[in-house]
Amino acid sequence: MSPRTLLTRTAPAGVAVLLAIAVTASTSGGNYRVRPGDTLSAIAARYHTSVAALVQLNHLPGNGNLIYAGSTLRLPGHHRGSHARHGSTITYVVHPGDSLYGIAGRFHANPQHIARRNHLPASLMVVIGQRLRIHVRHASHAHHARHHARHHRAAGFHGYAVPSREAVAGMIRSTAARWHLDGRFALGISYEEAGFNQRMISSVGAVGAMQVMPSTGRWISAYVVRRPLDIYRAQDNVTAGVALLSVLLRETGGNMRLAAAGYYQGLASVHDHGMFADTKRYVANVMALRNRF
């Protein structure tokens, strides 16, 4: 699901309908004031976090199944203090051809931290001439973080037999059938994302044949399938991706093109901005692949 984060853009019926029921909205520092019509899933998408993180940070009752307009939510990742000890903050002006992930890679920074700090939209798009504040760690910290990330990703598959692409395709068909989902559509998504390759890990950390972000896997586990999922395990990875597609199809009234766009760009972003050019290409590819399977 690259280049977006994940996919906590929407939620199933019992979670997405976390409607706010009174009056105002604003952001201030690391806080968000809820506005009428807001859902917790939409707020999570806007600020590149997860429903679970918001529920935990704000001590929301139950699964956070009710939020009120006018109330204030704390946002994860907006605290200050310790970062200053480990580096410095620079201002970067976006140039033609830049992307958020390219910029983050250049400065060995976390793209989600850049997005939150600069209040980027859910699409994570940057604009030529835009000035971004980026926290740059000292070289030793950056090297350690890269080494740790590589080690963590490689270790994620430890102990699991990684099936062939043909076996993964079979898992997708059978799992889609259990979820009453068009198997050809799920196959088209996986082939476009990873070519059925369970060992694939994207530059932004999306894992496996369905290219599931770890935060998305946790969200699907907690709110959709309601059991632990390990996205490094092929069947769990397929389950997470198919379950997400099921949610997206329900949220879009069964519209496969919109669901595919939501898988790639994020449904909240599609609703707010329409499909971006690369999203349209992605959707066209997925639908063409569906017709081949």
Q: Which two tokens stand for residue 79?
A: 């605290």
pLDDT for residue 1: 56
- The CB density around residue 58, as the number of other CB atoms within 10 Å, is 17
pLDDT for residue 72: 81
Q: Stretch 34-48: mean pLDDT, rounded? A: 75
CATH class of 13-74: alpha beta
Q: How far apart are CA 248 and CA 255, in angstroms?
A: 9
| pLDDT tens profile 152-196 | 555 677 778 889 999 999 999 999 999 999 999 999 999 998 899
Range from 1-5, 58-62, 281-285 that averages highest in pLDDT: 281-285
Q: How far apart are CA 229 and CA 217, in angstroms?
A: 7
Every domain of the chain with CATH number 3.10.350.10 lies at 82-148
Q: Based on the number of CB atoms within 10 Å of its own CB, is 226 exposed (0-12), middle (13-18) or buried (19 or more)?
A: exposed
- Whether a cis peptide bond, with omega within 30° of 0, leads into 76 is no
The residue length of the chain stands at: 293
Q: Which three-class secondary structure state does DSSP give residue 180?
A: coil
Q: Stretch 115-123: mean pLDDT, rounded? A: 82
pLDDT for residue 30: 67
Alpha-carbon torsion angle 69, 73, 76, 81, nearest 10: 140
Q: Which of 125-134, 140-149, 194-203 has the lowest mean pLDDT?
A: 140-149
Instruction: Report yes or no: 221 and 228 within 8 Å, Cβ to Cβ.
Output: yes
Q: How far apart are CA 169 and CA 191, in angstroms?
A: 9
Alpha-carbon torsion angle 269, 275, 278, 280, nearest 10: 140
pLDDT for residue 29: 46
Q: Which two tokens stand for residue 150?
A: 């590589």
Q: Which of 118-127, 147-156, 265-274 has the lowest mean pLDDT?
A: 147-156
User: Which one is predicted more confidently, 278 or 166?
Assistant: 166
Instruction: Report yes or no: 37 and 19 within 8 Å, Cβ to Cβ.
Output: yes
Q: Flag whether pLDDT at 241 surpasses 60.
A: yes
Q: Assess if CATH 3.10.350.10 describes domain 82-148.
A: yes
Q: Where are the beta strands (DSSP E) in the chain?
A: 26-28, 31-33, 72-74, 87-93, 131-137
| pLDDT tens profile 76-113 | 754 433 333 456 678 877 776 677 877 877 777 788 88
| pLDDT tens profile 6-38 | 333 333 433 433 333 322 234 444 677 787 777
Q: Give the 3-state secondary structure percentages of the chain, helix then strand then coil, rounded to 5.
A: 50, 10, 40
| pLDDT tens profile 242-265 | 999 999 999 899 999 999 998 988
Every domain of the chain with CATH number 1.10.530.10 lies at 165-292
**What is the dotted CATH code of the domain comprising 165-292?**
1.10.530.10
